[in-house]
Structure 1
């Protein structure tokens, strides 16, 4: 029995630009679905400007592989503008989590911390300034989500480095074997 999902995942890995376009589109739809007015609940639509601002919040994910830190900061700025304009993301902000994951998966902790700390501080500040209805609960949820994102992203970074080191050792061993074979023939 064929497994169709495996082919899709393989195809998306071979076409990262397509994968990022689909991811940004999915996040935009998610943000549109959850956009609400301040103090509102799911379904309390924010109007055209709020919907456009919500959807644009996913745009930086289009360049997350090329500019991970810039993407995280741009997503954070757009999210902050969304909150400061009096809107609320009732379903959450997956764009910032995806951008933060990309930073942590790409860079060592020493380079990933500053942009992540700035993003978290900006989230907290704009959430409170935007008049969050449950600031303590939202802060706790954000901290838990950020912690999980950091752990998963950092794990991916460590794993990639280990795989890279293993591949380099295998290449080095192969070159040494070829050199020994050439010396034996000579």
Structure 2
């Protein structure tokens, strides 16, 4: 019985290891996309630039809230009555409004619900991002920035607003 040389097998194994080691997860963030199917499962295809360019962005798993427990969390908060005052106090005053006060945050605005002709996304389009940053990660507004931090109750209210579909207002005649 002739013995086969293990060299071809070892060469194939080395190639596979080299290829597998060169894949970097960080390379996926910022990749251009047109919908979520073009992004890995931990990412979502979102428009983060003012020009509407859509890219794959990391989506963090949400933290557990009482609203997720199956108990009645009460009425769904609305942008007009509940969320807008929180955003005005903690987000719009210095960074995410008409006056960005030098923050450079002009790719979206939270001082309105939907764009009014300027094409810059508003709170509705950024609802998931708002929840992730204010309720899940709790890194917005940045600590030490001098901006009023939302209370734990306000952060939970924002999470309930997003979980409830991020509705605009109770009043049918309210404008965006």
| Shorter-normalised TM range | under 0.3
Give the TM-score normalised by structure 2: 0.25
More helix by share: 1
